[in-house]
Structure 1
């Protein structure tokens, strides 16, 4: 809970009753590797905070190939927030790629925080904006060559290199796993 409260305190000072309320609404959840936090075709009904582990956002393009869009690790919100708010089915999967510990808010509990904590909506909006920014595909730029994309990934996500399967990194970079293996071999 401390990590979640520290995260929220970046956006708003909280008094003890507010902290107690937030912690009373969060449920500790364990996802095993490959479990889904939310699935395509289903309406997202929860907001999570990653305490430990890595979640990836992925989808299938029209030829059935799986594309990894983002990686979400510790001290970050995880949610398909647009569909969560609109109450519409998601088009992507949020899947644990390591065992993961999360603190999860159900949709009713998330809404209740807005009703019970003065000034919660601007805080929620800032947290969601950060979540959306982390999920946005700010890299890799497909116009870059594959080696440049991998080097950029190494600089941007050094903590993920040994935690994420190469197949997911290759998918994120838009290259085959064989190409990624060659790139890694050439830069050593």
Structure 2
């Protein structure tokens, strides 16, 4: 919980009473490796903050191929879709790549915090804008780069992930086969 509060305070000020309110509305969720935070087609009813571990967002193509869209590492807020006021049924899976710990809020508790703390929505907006910028920066070059450059860029942008997740998922994220990734890794050593 401390990690979540410290993170929130980077984007706005809360007094001790507000911090206590936020803390009282949260619970801690532990996910084991390969557990799901959410699954495609099932309504999402919670907001989370990843304090430890790595999550992977992936989907299946119409040919049944699994594609990794992106990774979420520590200190990321996981909202329930584009408009977290409504009901959200994702078309993607959010799966733990490692053992994970999250601070989670039910939608009801999240809304109570929002209604009670005047600047809460502003803080959340700043956080989501930051995460959105990071996601765009991480993904924007993948389309125009060759495979080796994409891998080197991945290492630069995700330095803590390279040894924490299977190469097959990294290859999927980069849009290449695992054998191609193995060749690239061999050639750059």
Place the TM-score, normalised by the shorter chain, in its bin. Answer: over 0.9
Deviation, 1:139, is 4.3
Shift in CA distance, 121/127, structure 1 to aligned 2, threshold 3 Å:
same
Structure 2 alignment gaps of length 5 or more: none
Cα deviation, 1:34-71, whole Å, max 9, x if unaligned, reads 11111111121111111110011111111111111111
For residue 185 of structure 1, what is the aligned residue in structure 2? 186
Structure 1 alignment gaps of length 5 or more: none
Q: Determine helix, strand or coil for the equivalent of 1:105.
A: strand
Question: 1:123 and 1:130 mapped to 2: Cα distance?
Answer: 11
Deviation, 1:26, is 1.0
For residue 106 of structure 1, what is the aligned residue in structure 2? 106
Shift in CA distance, 57/125, structure 1 to aligned 2, threshold 3 Å:
same
Question: 1:83 and 1:122 mapped to 2: Cα distance?
Answer: 15
Deviation, 1:167, is 0.7
* Aligned-residue CA RMSD (Å): 1.5
Deviation, 1:79, is 3.2
- Structure 1 runs (4+) deviating above 6 angstroms are none
TM-score, structure 1 length as denominator?
0.94
For residue 158 of structure 2, what is the aligned residue in structure 1? 157
Cα deviation, 1:114-157, whole Å, max 9, x if unaligned, reads 11112211112222233444455624523311001000001111
Number of aligned positions between the proteins: 188
The question of whether the paired residues in 2 share the 8 Å contact of 1:68 and 1:172 is answered with yes
Q: Determine helix, strand or coil for the equivalent of 1:160.
A: coil
Question: 1:73 and 1:61 mapped to 2: Cα distance?
Answer: 24
Q: Determine helix, strand or coil for the equivalent of 1:164.
A: coil
TM-score, structure 2 length as denominator?
0.93
1:26 aligns with 2:26: yes
